[in-house]
Chain A
């Protein structure tokens, strides 16, 4: 099992270009005109979005497993 992650955005780097939303296989990211939004329940921790971002605005932090 790959490690479960939370994807986080660096808003100062992000251009709201929508690319990460486009490559995400599960619609776990939506890019609204007002901001970037992540849906943890849909994310499968594949990290595709993190590589795809043209400016490196995304990163991952390990998700704490709740008991």
Chain B
């Protein structure tokens, strides 16, 4: 049996894992980052959209090798086809090439001093006297035991290692989205915008998206509530058929489940931390989790470094506290909004998209929706419906 020893072992080289590994390695501690995939980043399970702000914020190079396209805003479509456009003069987001992006994040971690092992699957935790002291893994067909002072579970939605370490990452079935996506050739959509379609028949609880990667190539996908008796694939294929979009030039099929709520309460247990999708740290409204994984990874790595420097693992708990005081607080509010919007009927969606302006959408996108709700509450078609008034008031 091969044995290894590190200060920190990070399980999962998606988004959260490499950020933690890079930051900890930069501070001079020994780190091992492992992923079960033979090629980090492949296959992708993502629509690849992210805000342009993250590059500066998380110190990630703006490297053309993993940027497919800059995006200047969003177009929203209601069930009956009303449109709402939100267009910026400057690029507000990008569509990544995640296969390259994830691998480059692992490369930055390696450059900063971390060891990285692809095709290395964590199978279980090693416990001594009830405490986790490392990870049992398999590298190709070879069993390895990786001992570490700190274990980071960045293992995505499965969250197996976090749970085997005794962290409760359970979320009820309604707090997950099932997603299905084609990367395909598609025409007729402004390639500078992302496009989102809403409707209870179109995508229950979620939406259909077209995220352009090229003039005529895009990630076309759907997310629906995972406790739905029909599959995400069923709804996406139906939408394509109904919109006469031929599904004949499919370059990839991407499948995944996204946690959209049920954020983990205790993110740390002794010397084990959970980050990213594994900790259910995803925006419950749109299901984007890359920026949230970066934020959690940044906070987690800060406390790992402090704990190691001061040789006091108790400090790790501050990751839970700080996350809940900052991003956790924000995401709880977003979750509240999602729970309200889930109750909207197709007629509500038609009406709201019809009466909202681009400026309103901009305020909502910026998180400043109070004013918009107040304005909506004055609209005659809202005033006539006590149900709509109640729903909107829940958002205030």
Binding site for B on A (CB under 8 A): 15, 17-23, 25, 27, 30-33, 48, 51-56
Contacts and interface: CB of A to CB of B under 8 A. Distances in A.
Contact of A55 (B156, B173, B229, B233): B233
B51 interface: no
A38 to B, nearest CB: 14
B253 A54 contact: no
A22 to B, nearest CB: 4
B38 interface: yes
Contact of B227 (A18, A20, A48): A48
B227 A31 contact: no
Nearest to A27: B163
Interface stretch (B57-65, B76-84, B254-262, B306-314): B254-262
A22 B255 contact: no
Contacts of B203: none
A53 B36 contact: no
Interface of B: 36-38, 43, 45, 119, 121, 156-160, 163-164, 170, 173, 176, 178-180, 226-229, 231-234, 253-257, 259, 277
Contacts of A25: 170
Nearest to A15: B255
B229 A56 contact: no
Given A51-B228, A55-B231, A33 B38 contact: yes
A25 B160 CA distance: 11
Contact of B178 (A19, A27, A32): A19
A22 B259 contact: yes
Contacts, number: 82
Contacts of B38: 33
Given A17-B255, A55-B233, 15 more contacts: A15-B254, A18-B157, A19-B157, A19-B176, A21-B160, A23-B173, A23-B257, A27-B160, A27-B163, A27-B164, A54-B179, A54-B180, A54-B255, A54-B256, A54-B257
B158 to A, nearest CB: 4
B26 to A, nearest CB: 29
Contacts of A18: 156-158, 256-257
Contacts of A27: 160, 163-164
A25 B174 CA distance: 13
Nearest to B171: A23
A23 B254 CA distance: 18
User: Which secondary structure dominates chain B's binding surface?
Assistant: mixed
Contact of A53 (B160, B231, B253, B259): B231
Contact of B256 (A19, A32, A51, A56): A19
Contact of A56 (B45, B121, B227, B231): B231
Nearest to B155: A18
A32 B227 contact: no
B232 A54 contact: yes
A22 B43 CA distance: 18
A51 B259 CA distance: 15
A17 B164 CA distance: 19
B173 A33 contact: no
Given A17-B45, A55-B231, A22 B36 contact: no
15 contacts: A15-B254, A18-B256, A19-B255, A19-B257, A20-B257, A21-B157, A33-B121, A48-B227, A51-B173, A51-B227, A51-B228, A53-B231, A54-B256, A55-B180, A56-B233
Given A33-B121, A51-B226, A23 B255 contact: no
A32 B138 CA distance: 11
